C-alpha cells in the first residue's frame, strides 16, 4: 500500500502534537485561579501554539491539494472510505476554525495577539464584550468537537492497525513497518 509523502507525515504528526499540547495547555491555564504570571505565560504559549497550528494547517492543506493522498485499500468498505473522508474534512475545518475562533476571542477581549512576543498580528476587530462572550463559547465548543473527532480518528487508526491489519495506519507512520501489505 502506498504511503503518504514524508512532508505530509511530518506535518500530520507535528500538527497532532501541537493540537494535543495546545488543548492540554488550554485546560490547565483556564483552571488556574486569578491572574498570575504563570497563567499569563500559559496564555501566551497557548496563543503561539494556536497561531503555529493555523500556519502549519495552511501548509498542510496546500500540500494535500498538490499531492493527493494514497488510495485506501480496495477491501475497505465504501462506507468506511466515506466516513474517513468526512472525518478528515471536518478535522481540516477545525484546524482552521479553532485557532481563528481563539484569535478573534482574544481580539474581542481587547488583547492583541503577539506571535512569540515579536510579531504583532493584525487587529481585525475592536474589543466587544458581547462578541467576547460568544467567541469564548464558540472557541470552547469547537475545541471539544476537535478533541472528540481526534479521539474518533485515533480509534479508527488503531482499529485498522490492530483489528483489520490492512496497512491503513502504516501509511501515516513516521517509519515504515513490516506489517504493510505489498
pLDDT value of residue 146: 98
Residue 48 in domain: yes
Residue 55 in domain: yes
Specify whether the CB–CB gap between 65 and 27 falls below 8 A.
Answer: no
Distance in angstroms (rounded) separating the CA atoms of residues 71 and 52: 29
Residue 149's domain is classified under what CATH number? 1.20.950
Chain centroid offset of residue 15 CA: 6
Q: Which of 32, 143, 159 is nearest to 94 (CA)?
A: 143
Residue 178 in domain: no
pLDDT value of residue 72: 85
Residue 44 in domain: yes
Residue 143 in domain: yes
Within 8 A by CB and 6+ apart from 70, the residues are 1, 2, 3, 4, 171
Where the chain has pLDDT below 70, the residues are 1, 177-182
Q: 156: domain range?
A: 6-172
What is the domain count for the chain? 1
pLDDT value of residue 56: 98
Residue 182 in domain: no
Q: Which three cell numbers stand for residue 74?
A: 480496495
Residue 75 in domain: yes
Residue 179 in domain: no
pLDDT value of residue 14: 98
Amino acid at each position: 500500500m502506498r504511503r503518504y509523502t514524508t512532508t505530509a507525515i511530518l506535518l500530520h504528526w507535528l500538527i497532532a502534537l501541537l493540537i494535543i499540547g495546545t488543548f492540554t495547555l488550554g485546560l490547565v491555564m483556564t483552571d488556574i485561579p486569578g491572574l498570575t504570571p504563570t497563567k499569563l505565560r500559559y496564555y501566551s504559549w497557548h496563543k503561539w501554539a494556536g497561531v503555529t497550528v493555523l500556519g502549519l494547517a495552511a501548509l498542510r492543506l496546500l500540500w494535500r491539494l498538490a499531492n493527493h493522498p494514497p488510495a485506501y485499500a480496495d477491501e475497505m468498505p465504501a462506507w468506511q472510505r466515506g466516513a474517513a473522508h468526512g472525518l478528515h474534512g471536518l478535522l481540516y475545518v477545525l484546524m482552521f476554525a479553532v485557532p481563528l475562533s481563539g484569535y478573534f476571542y482574544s481580539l474581542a477581549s481587547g488583547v492583541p495577539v503577539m506571535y512569540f512576543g515579536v510579531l504583532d498580528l493584525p487587529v481585525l476587530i475592536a474589543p466587544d464584550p458581547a462578541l467576547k462572550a460568544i467567541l469564548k463559547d464558540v472557541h470552547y465548543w469547537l475545541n471539544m468537537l476537535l478533541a472528540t473527532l481526534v479521539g474518533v480518528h485515533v480509534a479508527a487508526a488503531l482499529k485498522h492497525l490492530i483489528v483489520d491489519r490492512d496497512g491503513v495506519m502504516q501509511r501515516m507512520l513516521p517509519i515504515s513497518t513490516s506489517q504493510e501489505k505489498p
